[in-house]
A = this chain, B = another copy of it.
């Protein structure tokens, strides 16, 4: 592939100091992340961790009756497969590619070795895991207390923050599966938000027209998660995160390792 890509498109990798990066980057494997691809299944031992760059991954739990609910979203700010270094090797949830793109992956062996060095990598991974804890906690709160409209906005914002651009390719059917609600419910919520002029929705393509309006319409859960991620992972301030931008655009095209 000649497409411009760089491990630093992922914030966690970008935040590694040069010395660590030199050790880790050669072992990264650039992989495509097709929509719907299952990175790991409930209870199955993982082989790799994934650092998404242009893709988004959903962690979701699938119930016995087939219904599902999203637990957390991981994009270019994080890593999929924390249980590899946390020691469990698997989880009861499933990881599915929610938005197609690419990721860098690293073998479980290597993550564990890097983690055990107790250096910057370990530090980053632990802080990311705590951010993940917050995201899950807030999902629980949101599921309990907030309306579908609010949850739709929260979900949209969380997803957008993890992707370049202000557009999302995603059918209402898929969103419904993520949120654990009916497809019709999403139709209505999306309709409301569109009537309010905040987004335009056309057959699986969502474009955000008024980001501030979206944030106002979402519940506090979005802000709580956002703030906690910013606090725990302030990559912009890391001297090593070479020129990582104060905006939310993570891409540095045309750069190579």
Which residues of B are found within 8 Å of A249, using beta-carbon distances?
A: none
Q: Report the nearest B residue to A83, measured CB to CB.
A: B130
User: Helix, strand, loop or mixed for chain A's interface?
Assistant: helix
User: Which of A59, A145, A228 has the most chain B CB atoms closer than 10 A to its own CB?
Assistant: A145
Contact with B along A69-107 (1 / 0, CB 8 A): 101100000000011011110011100000000000000
Is the C-beta of A132 less than 8 angstroms from some C-beta in chain B? yes
Q: How many residues of A contact B (CB 8 A)?
A: 44
With contact pairs A140-B71, A141-B71, A144-B180 given, residues A64 and B130 touching in the complex (Cβ less than 8 Å): no
Is the C-beta of A220 less than 8 angstroms from some C-beta in chain B? yes
Please measure, in the bound complex, the distance between the C-alpha atom of A116 and the C-alpha atom of B140, giving whole angstroms.
Answer: 31
Which residues of B are found within 8 Å of A232, using beta-carbon distances?
A: 87-88
**Cβ–Cβ contact B144 & A228, under 8 A:** no
**Cβ–Cβ contact B137 & A86, under 8 A:** no
Which residues of B are found within 8 Å of A132, using beta-carbon distances?
A: 133
Is the C-beta of A155 less than 8 angstroms from some C-beta in chain B? no
10 contacts between A and B (CB under 8 A): A59-B137, A63-B145, A69-B141, A69-B145, A88-B127, A88-B232, A92-B134, A136-B136, A141-B180, A145-B180
Chain A residues within 8 Å of B, Cβ to Cβ: 59, 61, 63-64, 67, 69, 71-72, 82-83, 85-88, 91-93, 116, 118, 123, 126-127, 129-134, 136-141, 143-145, 180, 220, 224, 227-228, 231-232
